[in-house]
Amino acid sequence: MASLSALVKELRAKTGAGILDCQNALKETNNDIEKAIDRLRQKGLAAAQKKAGRETKEGVISAYIHAGNKIGVLVEVNCETDFVARNDEFQALVKDILLQIAAAHPVYVKREDVPPELIEREKAIYLAQAKEMGKPEPAWEKIVQGKLEKFYQEQCLLEQTFIKDPNVTIKDLVNEKIAKLGENITISRFTRYQLGQE
């Protein structure tokens, strides 16, 4: 059985949480490292949700040009203070977001940005598909909602699966950094350029 200090060290390495938080999480979970990770993530998400309403007027506008100069991305990521904007963790998050946009080609930042008329058009298409496939009428609404969720996961940056870790969405990634850095972080906007495409 590993000593408490070894477990704390391992937990810190895996989560980036502070020593005291790691000790408390281990105590609450009977030194079960996996449960302690989950506990810290839950606390982190709760902390992130508390910070969600705070204003983000600092941050960076950053650019990425993909190898071969055929794809370019500009993104604005905001935080609360200039101090955090210069932090290595924040800068690494911005780089990950740039790579995500270049690779996964989102169109919107979040689902609220999708125009209502586009959502209605997509729903009409999904409903027609369900009917065409001969699905029973009681299942139509569920099929439409399922396909709409998939649409959001493909088109909205925050809902996309992170290209470096399929178990995490971009929203999860941002929330983890909010919990770690102690400030609200928002992705305001982005533009993705691809050679020869409008």
pTM: 0.69
Average pLDDT over residues 112-117: 93
The rounded mean pLDDT for the chain is: 85
Worst-scoring range by mean pLDDT, 28-37, 97-106, 170-179, 182-191? 28-37
Residue 191 binned pLDDT confidence (cut-offs 50, 70, 90): very high
Q: Is the pLDDT of residue 73 over 90?
A: yes
pLDDT tens figures, 11-33: 776 665 667 777 888 888 888 88
The domains located in the chain, with CATH, are 4-51 (1.10.8.10), 58-110+156-194 (3.30.479.20), 115-154 (1.10.286)
Q: Tell me the three-class secondary structure of the chain, residue by residue.
A: CCCHHHHHHHHHHHHCCCHHHHHHHHHHCCCCHHHHHHHHHHHHHHHHHHHCCCCCCEEEEEEEECCCCCEEEEEEEEECCHHHHCCHHHHHHHHHHHHHHHHHCCCECCHHHCCHHHHHHHHHHHHHHHHHCCCCHHHHHHHHHHHHHHHHHHHEHHHCEECCEEEEEHHHHHHHHHHHHCCCCEEEEEEEEECCCC
- Of residues 131 and 64, the one with the higher pLDDT is 64
pLDDT digits (tens, 9 = 90+) for 129-139: 888 888 888 88
